[in-house]
Amino acid sequence: MTFRAVICSAVAALSCASPGPTPAPEKPTEPLQTPLAALLVRAIEAGAIPGATARIGRGDEVLASTRLGARAVTPEREELTTDTLFDLASLTKPIATASSVLKLVERGQLELDAPLARYLPEFGANGKESITLEQLLRHWSGLIADNSLADYADGPQRAWERICALAPAHPPGSKFMYSDVGYIALGVLVERVSGLSLDEFARREIFEPAGMRDTGFRPRFELHARCAPTEPREAGMLRGEVHDPRAAHLGGVAGHAGLFSTLEDVSRWCRMLANRGMIDGVRVLSRHSADALLTPRWLANGEGGRTLGLDCDTAYSSPRGTMPRGVSVGHTGFTGTSLWLDPASKVWCVVLTSRLHPAGQGDVRELRRGVGEYAGLFTRSLGLDLLKQLELSTPVRTGADVLARESCERLHGRRVALLTNRTGRTRDGERTLDLLRRCGVEVVCAMTPEHGFDAALEGAVEDGIDTASGVKLFSLYGKTRRPTREMLEGADTLVFDVQDVGARFYTYSTTLGYAMEAAAEHGLRVVVLDRPNPIGFVRPQGPLADPARLDFVAYKPIPIVHGLTLGELARLYREHFGVACELEVVACENYRRSMDWAATTLDWLAPSPNLRNPTQALLYPGVALLEFTNVSVGRGTDEPFERIGAPWIHGSQLAAWLNALELPGVRFAATRFTPRESRFANEACSGVQIEIVDRNVLEPVELGLALAWMLLRLHGDEFEVAKVDVLLRNHSAWEQLLRAREFGELREIAHPDLSDFLAARSRVLLYH
């Protein structure tokens, strides 16, 4: 049975189950426990692990919990018990070290943007002078993963001196590189600043307040019998002693490894975090600290998604399963441990096992992923709605996937001009360009929309060559924005495969329209390989573009959020607006309009440099209304479209007034940032951070109008409000924004009468 089949069996079980009161951890409720147990059984029977314990919860509620298999298999078998202590390995980093650092930040003893050398002067040598606490917490410091084990042979003091002598492998802040060295340094920081050892500080300030009674470094000898052993060392099987050799040389207490704990205690830490720092009425971390552990940031290139202690979107993220990508967070440990948490739904999952026992060769990747897939059911259906879960049981296939399954049969004998970019690929990662050529379809040329073939460039893009295939690349965001006769020469079919984001002024939808016009002019058939709309679940909203002002950011008079896929837009262009080309749409399979991106289980491939995750895509139709004004929308930072600011904005005041509006699905926090490029490059900006608290009720256009309206009210002399109409493209709506005296008037702008558009839209829909 495959893991997907196991997950699907959960759906069948859930059809007759409803959540009751919180069960005791050692007696999980049936049938929710059964699919989770099946995942463990599969891993044990495959020889991947000797045994494991796992749990899925939502806030303080346990949804599924089980333990199976052995704690030890040699020298004799021991069954796994509820109080088994596991070597958490790198779960030490978030649970002990990052939590402790943030606790010291709360007290004003540390500043996250300060260099570590401010507190540990000896560290500031050989290019490490500027490495900040934040960069260390996010693994953006440029430090290597591990220095030589020989550096630890002479005791902790000499080991620290040798770490201080290291030089970074990359400029700080330029690259994600998972670094044990960085967290060892953070452990030393906690000890130096607090005056307590890391284990003592974490015990007093984190574990005891959280009720984590069995969590700590260096378990007492009498607890060794409860510890899951790892693998043999010179003196015999390691048991109750840290597996990580560097942590062992440091005496068993280190910032990167050394912590031992139970399923119950790790679950309590997850519960605390899910409840924004509180558990059982006790505040362990401030809400700000909890949010720092839950809120991811990305490097400028869109990589290295990390919070201040947890992973989000890197090569280490497979335990996420089908939990929301780009917003859910977690961590893994080398010994086989993992945890993952979705802040919006408060769903979390924990897997504890000793995969290294007995011979150091176990593999827990499939188990972790399977538990994440099962947990993903609950993140998208808080009421355990069966229809939603059935959506998840069958993967969405894009038009490119359908084409691949058919071996491109519908294009055999055709000469194709392909309009695509990096998002044009199958679920398995094969580029549509390579798929067509592999299946014997003649590709005459490829054309690329704004941002180029790799969807990574800003500004005008030159023509080029795809080095992998040798196919000519024509830019439709350079000398021309429309396919020309030269580009289409020799082609009889134009295939369009690009991921859109669902906003009228996102230019890929205009490029589609221009391509259809060119195809009609030159007698080509158009085949659109459809893809899900990442904000298709948002109802159509925003004013129609003025018919006299149509151009590259407003191809036709449609609302800002139209709720259509590009395949459906193509049908609308043809059937309603009269773009008379021969058209075929290869529709997605198993896609429903109610799905958010995570529900599709498709990888998010950034369609442009500043839309790096689905959260930014959801905020984009509103926040981008400020794009042409004198406000930074976060370009040149790690969080484009998740923040706005300017040197003249008073962030705390703006946040307070915006929160008073009680906009659905969002809240605001004052922030300061310095863009590295784009508007206000290298200038300190004050503004607000936008946090989505419920994506299902968020009204993005209303959000954007509220931002503009409040900036006008608070900073009317500085704010270039006239430029809001550049993308709003409806002058009467803009004038209404200027006149609005009450917030309720903005809702009239965001939700005008769209009856004619909705009627035309209804005739081209492909998905329910």
What are the domain boundaries of the chain?
Answer: 86-303, 399-601, 614-729
Q: Which residue has the tokens 């690929």?
A: 425
Residues 6+ apart with CB under 8 A from 253: 187, 197, 198, 199, 217, 218, 247
Quick one: what percent of the chain has pLDDT higher than 90?
83
Is the sign of the CA dihedral 432, 433, 436, 437 positive or negative? negative
What CATH number does domain 86-303 carry, 3.40.1160.10, 3.30.710.10, 3.40.718.10, 3.40.710.10? 3.40.710.10
Structure tokens that stand for 406 in this block: 């058919």
Asked whether the beta carbons of 463 and 457 are under 8 A apart, the reply is no
Q: How many CB atoms sit inside 10 A of residue 443's CB?
A: 22
Q: Burial level of 24, CB count in 10 A (0-12/13-18/19+)?
A: exposed
What is the phi-psi region of residue 629: left when phi exceeds 0, alpha when psi lies from -120 to 50, beta otherwise?
A: beta
Q: How far apart are CA 602 and CA 394, in angstroms?
A: 12
Give the tens place of pLDDT for each residue, 150-161. Answer: 999 999 999 999
Tell me the C-alpha to C-alpha distance, in Å, between residue 46 and each of 8, 49, 51, 228, 363: 20, 8, 11, 19, 10
Give the tens place of pLDDT for each residue, 588-612. Answer: 999 999 888 888 888 899 999 999 9
Residues 6+ apart with CB under 8 A from 506: 500, 620
Q: How far apart are CA 622 and CA 40, in angstroms?
A: 44
Q: Coil, strand or helix: which one is 596? A: coil
pLDDT averaged over every residue in the chain: 92
Mean pLDDT of 348-368: 94
What would be the CATH architecture of the domain defined by 399-601? 3-Layer(aba) Sandwich (3.40)
Burial 652-672 (b: 16+ CB within 10 A, else e): eebbebbeebebebbbbbbbe
Give the tens place of pLDDT for each residue, 243-260. Answer: 999 999 999 999 999 999
Q: How many CB atoms sit inside 10 A of residue 146's CB?
A: 16
Quick one: what percent of the chain has pLDDT higher than 70?
94
pLDDT at 111 over 80: yes
Q: Coil, strand or helix: which one is 303? A: coil
H/E stretch holding 191 reads: helix 180-194
Amino acid, res. 719: F
Mean pLDDT of 687-704: 92
At residue 525 the predicted structure's pLDDT band, cuts being 50, 70 and 90, is: very high
Q: How far apart are CA 121 and CA 129, in angstroms?
A: 9
Mean pLDDT of 374-388: 60
What is the phi-psi region of residue 456: left when phi exceeds 0, alpha when psi lies from -120 to 50, beta otherwise?
A: alpha
pLDDT at 30: 34
Residues 6+ apart with CB under 8 A from 185: 116, 120, 123, 136, 143, 163, 255
Q: Burial level of 585, CB count in 10 A (0-12/13-18/19+)?
A: buried
With vertex at residue 97, the alpha carbon angle to CA 93 and CA 102, rounded to the nearest 5 degrees, is 120
Structure tokens that stand for 163 in this block: 């770490």
Q: How many CB atoms sit inside 10 A of residue 263's CB?
A: 26
Give the tens place of pLDDT for each residue, 533-562. Answer: 999 999 999 999 999 999 999 999 999 999
pLDDT at 12: 44
pLDDT at 367 over 50: yes
pLDDT at 7: 47
Residues 6+ apart with CB under 8 A from 298: 304, 305, 313, 612, 613, 638, 639
Structure tokens that stand for 168 in this block: 């970074």
pLDDT at 25 over 50: no
> Which of 760, 754, 753 is closest to 572 using CA atoms?
760
Tell me the C-alpha to C-alpha distance, in Å, between residue 218 and each of 108, 149, 257, 356, 411: 30, 20, 11, 19, 65
Asked whether the beta carbons of 66 and 40 are under 8 A apart, the reply is yes
Residues 6+ apart with CB under 8 A from 220: none
pLDDT at 33: 41
> Which of 247, 85, 112, 120 is closest to 181 using CA atoms?
247
pLDDT at 34: 64
> Which of 639, 627, 645, 630 is closest to 684 using CA atoms?
645
Structure tokens that stand for 260 in this block: 């031992």
Cross-strand partners of 283? 278
Q: How far apart are CA 593 and CA 766, in angstroms?
A: 9
Q: How far apart are CA 519 and CA 489, in angstroms?
A: 11
CATH fold group of domain 614-729: Aspartate Aminotransferase, domain 1 (3.90.1150)
Mean pLDDT of 743-764: 94
Structure tokens that stand for 747 in this block: 């809702």
Cross-strand partners of 589? 397
pLDDT at 695: 85
pLDDT at 10 over 70: no
Structure tokens that stand for 634 in this block: 């976060």
Give the tens place of pLDDT for each residue, 644-683. Answer: 999 999 999 999 999 999 999 999 999 999 999 999 999 9
Strands 525-529 and 582-586 come out as parallel
- Among 296-305, 503-512, 531-540, 677-686, whose mean pLDDT is lowest? 296-305
Instruction: Please compute Rg for the chain using Cα positions.
Output: 27
3-state secondary structure 364-422: CHHHHHHHHHHHHHHHCCCCCCHHHHHHHHCCCECHHHHHHHCCCHHHCCCEEEEEECC
Q: How far apart are CA 212 and CA 207, in angstroms?
A: 5
Is the sign of the CA dihedral 28, 31, 35, 37 positive or negative? positive
pLDDT at 694: 84
At residue 303 the predicted structure's pLDDT band, cuts being 50, 70 and 90, is: confident
Q: How far apart are CA 572 and CA 424, in angstroms?
A: 22
Higher pLDDT pick, 396 / 385: 396
Which residue blocks in 94-132 are alpha helix, DSSP H? Answer: 99-106
Higher pLDDT pick, 416 / 382: 416
